[in-house]
Amino acid sequence: MKHLLAIDGLSRDEIEAILDRAESFAEVGRRDIKKVPTLRGRTVVTLFYESSTRTSSSFELAAKRLSADLVSVKAAGSSVDKGESLKDTVATLSAYDPAAIVIRHPYAGAAQMVAGWTAAAVINAGDGKHEHPSQALLDVYTLRRRLGSLDGKRIWIVGDVLHSRVARSNLIAFQRMGAEVTVCGPPTLIPRGIEELGCEVSHSLERLGEADVVYALRMQQERMSESFVPSLREYAATFQIDTRRLNPRQLLMHPGPVNRGVELSGEAIDSPQSLIAEQVAAGLVVRMAILYELLAGSERPAPVSDDEPSPTPIGQPA
């Protein structure tokens, strides 16, 4: 594996291998000194054009726990504010000869483009509404630890599916691991034709009791250019997951950040069925495993695209 751009490109065996590796890093996390020398002398760059708490902090900590040198760039406050393009920013950071660039960007396909501009391994930390593969891997890891296997499990993904890269990546990953997936939300927030990905669609929570796992999604108001629901209050009345709608044998997940009181009630978030804190903890070991799989013992990968050659780094002679 040269890059991690989408979950779609991973087989079940490749997913299992990353999760098995993450299990071994969980053991490192229980040691007094939570560090291994695997990536000593290698550099990891994180480059975030959108807000993040979980993904950015866990990739940063994962790189440090593997002993890599770390450069963290947030677009806000960087030379992006002065108008520097994505391509020039990548060329600039590539001049440090990083082993990996972790990129989050609002444009679907941005990570794929970056892979064509750098010799570093590229990890997609979320590109617009397209994919968030490391989130899907950490969610599968969390469920595998709880349930042993996802085979035959029924998972309902509830909420703003239309604007969610997590929904897309998780739908693919959960099914690849043997689960049956239903997506649920108002018709305005379910992409037309999503059944073609092999899932069922529901526009009400009536059959929610069938689910083994309820995976709630954030209402992504920052990606909504028009009104998709009459009001958040009315959306919550119909689709909020609360302890009345959740039965005690069901597991509850959410990628975070949560709009408390909108897609989830406070009581549901804090209930014993909630795996939200476990998901965050899993993010660290799974992202260590991703960095390990891409970088440990590997030669530097060639650019993805032949027609998008690596640019001459800024400030270097052509």
Residues near ligand CP, by CB under 6 A: 52-55, 126, 135, 255-257
Rounded distance, CA 51 to CA 305, Å?
A: 28
Render 73-85 in DSSP notation, one character per residue. EESTTSGGGGT--
For ligand CP, the closer of residues 52 and 202 by Cβ is 52
Q: Which of 95, 56, 60 is nearest to 76 (CA)?
A: 56
SS3 label, residue 32 = coil
Tell me the closest approach of the beta carbon of residue 137 to ligand CP, in angstroms.
Answer: 12
Rounded distance, CA 270 to CA 290, Å?
A: 29
Tell me the closest approach of the beta carbon of residue 18 to ligand CP, in angstroms.
Answer: 17
Rounded distance, CA 240 to CA 200, Å?
A: 20
Tokens linked to 135: 């989130």
Tell me the closest approach of the beta carbon of residue 134 to ligand CP, in angstroms.
Answer: 8
For ligand CP, the closer of residues 187 and 257 by Cβ is 257
Tokens linked to 284: 């660290």
For ligand CP, the closer of residues 132 and 144 by Cβ is 132
Residues 258, 218: contact at Cβ < 8 Å?
yes
Tell me the closest approach of the beta carbon of residue 160 to ligand CP, in angstroms.
Answer: 14
- Give Cα 168 distance to the centre of its chain: 10
Residues 131, 110: contact at Cβ < 8 Å?
no
For ligand CP, the closer of residues 186 and 255 by Cβ is 255
For ligand CP, the closer of residues 38 and 46 by Cβ is 46
Tell me the closest approach of the beta carbon of residue 53 to ligand CP, in angstroms.
Answer: 4
For ligand CP, the closer of residues 91 and 276 by Cβ is 276
Tell me the closest approach of the beta carbon of residue 256 to ligand CP, in angstroms.
Answer: 5
Rounded distance, CA 181 to CA 186, Å?
A: 17
Tell me the closest approach of the beta carbon of residue 55 to ligand CP, in angstroms.
Answer: 3
Residues 303, 170: contact at Cβ < 8 Å?
no
Q: How many CA atoms lie within 13 A of 310 on its CB side?
A: 19
For ligand CP, the closer of residues 129 and 303 by Cβ is 129
Residues 154, 28: contact at Cβ < 8 Å?
no
